[in-house]
Structure formats: C-alpha cells, structure tokens
Amino acid sequence: MDSCFLVGEIGINHNGDLNLAKDLIKEAKTAGFDAVKFQKRDIDVVYSQDYLNSKRESPWGNTQRVQKEALEFSLSEYWEIDNYCKELDIEWFVSCWDINSQIEMRIFSTKWNKVASAMATNIPFLEVVASEQKHTFVSTGMTSLKEIEECIQIFNKFDCPITLLHTVSTYPAEEADLNLSCITVLKDKFNLPVGYSGHETGVSPSVMAVVLGSVVVERHITLNRAMYGSDQAASLEPQGMRNLCSMIKKVNICMGDGVKRIIPAEMQVAKKLRYWNEN
C-alpha cells in the first residue's frame, strides 16, 4: 500500500494570530503530517451585507463582520506562512470559498487545491479551480452522487486531476453518522482515488478510513479544543495529532502488498512445527 497523505487542516483555528498559526504548523510537522491547509475568503463576496452587519459576540467585537475579518490573513501574512513552511519542510495549501480568493492565492506556488464541501456544487467556482489543472481534493459532504458526478465532469473537462474526500459536514461528527462505507462506494462508482476528511473527535475512524483504501486523510487540528472557534471541537489536539499519524503509518506497514508468500522467518518456524506432521 502506498503511503497515505496526511493533511492537518488549520483552517481558521489560528484565530487570526500568525504566531498561533506557526505553532500549529510546527505541531503538524512534529506529529508527522505531510501538509497543512488554511482557508481563504473574501467576506464581502461570501456573505451578505445584512449578515455581516448582524450581531455576533466574539473576542474582536459584536458583529459578524468584525469576527470574519479577524479570521482572515493578509497576503503578507501568507507569505510568512509560505516561508515558515519552507523552513520546516512541510507543504501547505488553501481552500478558497470564492473566485476572488482563488485567483488571489495563485501568487503562491502550492501543489494542491482544495474544494470544501460547501463549494462542491458551485459550478462557476469549480470551473475556475479546475482551469488551474492543479491536483485538487474535493470534499463531498452535503452532496448527492449526482452532484458529485457533475463536479467530476467539470474537472474532466479541464483535464484536472482530483481526489474525492468522503466527508460528513457536522462539527463534530457523531461516529454513528460517519458512514465510512461510502469510501468504497465512491471508489467503485467513480474510479477515482478517494480519501477522508474527518470531523469526529477521535482517531480510530480515520484509521479505519485508511484500511478501507483512503489515500488522503485530512483532519482539523488545534492546540486546545477549548479555544474560541466553531471548528475547535472537531479538531485534534497535539497528542491526538501524533496518535493519528503514528497509527496510520502502522496501517500502511501492516497492510503490505497483498501478495501471499512464505517469508524467510516463517520457513524456520515451519521446519520446527511441521516436522512431526510430515514425518
């Protein structure tokens, strides 16, 4: 089995603090993740003015606009993230939530794109992403098989490679709702590589996803689940991050290549245990 690609989803768990973002990147690297991912929004495109002007209590003020603005990094801050990731030798990329942000983030030479579940049915947005022909991870939460097929057709039109990610879009997700068998369903129906983006609080379902054939596992990460933020409760803390990476690497080792063979160490055991039976 090829090694599973492990993505630490920082998202907006940095709470607009660049130092906190760097701490999360460092924890992800130490744990064994292959990449970290952020989220990018033009809030005036993603949200209505009425919504942005509505009340919301947060550490930064009492409107949705103030809270949303506080969670967005500037391009200069993303350049710092880019340099820091290079320093630590870990990849990074971003999931954008609007066309403006997708185009703006092209300035960075990241290797992958990510389509969040909320954007998987937005046809104009998908066409912009697919036109970049950069390998794209597509989360499939809140989507039907028909909608997934329509999404795939767009990426095929632009000859853009994709990996589907089975996802349940609740935060945190209950284990009874995870429906991990869909990983096999997606592989069989669409003949594409499939991964898993998990929002559960534990580690074991993500490990099960790898056993089922997931080539990518993406998990939200945090320094402390008690921190401010809507994604914190569905995230892994540092110990959970280390447990996840360690266990998944063991799966890759233990699964092997599926070729039935007698290994040399078994031959020595066979000489001892079969002697009485064959003579």
> Given this model, what pLDDT does residue 139 score?
98
Compute the distance between CA of residue 75 and CA of residue 54 in angstroms, rounded to an integer: 27
> Given this model, what pLDDT does residue 1 score?
42
Quick one: what percent of the chain has pLDDT higher than 70?
97
Residue pair 112/133 in contact (Cβ under 8 Å)? The answer is no
For 190-227, write each residue's pLDDT tens digit: 999 999 999 999 999 999 999 999 999 999 999 999 99
For 112-169, write each residue's pLDDT tens digit: 999 999 999 999 999 999 999 999 999 999 999 999 999 999 999 999 999 999 999 9
What domains can be seen in the chain, in order of their start residue? 5-278 (3.20.20.70)
Record the pTM: 0.94
163 token code pair: 């990996």
Residue 81 has pLDDT above 70, yes or no: yes
Residue 278 has pLDDT above 80, yes or no: no
Compute the distance between CA of residue 104 and CA of residue 15 in angstroms, rounded to an integer: 21
Q: Is 276 exposed, middle or buried (0-12, 13-18, 19+ CB in 10 A)?
A: exposed
Q: How many CA atoms lie within 13 A of 25 on its CB side?
A: 23
Q: How many CB atoms are closer than 10 A to CB 45?
A: 11
For 20-70, write each residue's pLDDT tens digit: 999 999 999 999 999 999 999 999 999 999 999 999 999 999 999 999 999
> Given this model, what pLDDT does residue 74 score?
96
- Of the candidates 15, 140, 145, which has an alpha carbon nearest to the alpha carbon of residue 67? 15
Compute the distance between CA of residue 267 and CA of residue 33 in angstroms, rounded to an integer: 38
Map tokens 């945090």 to a residue. 222
Average pLDDT in the chain = 95
Residue 279 has pLDDT above 60, yes or no: no
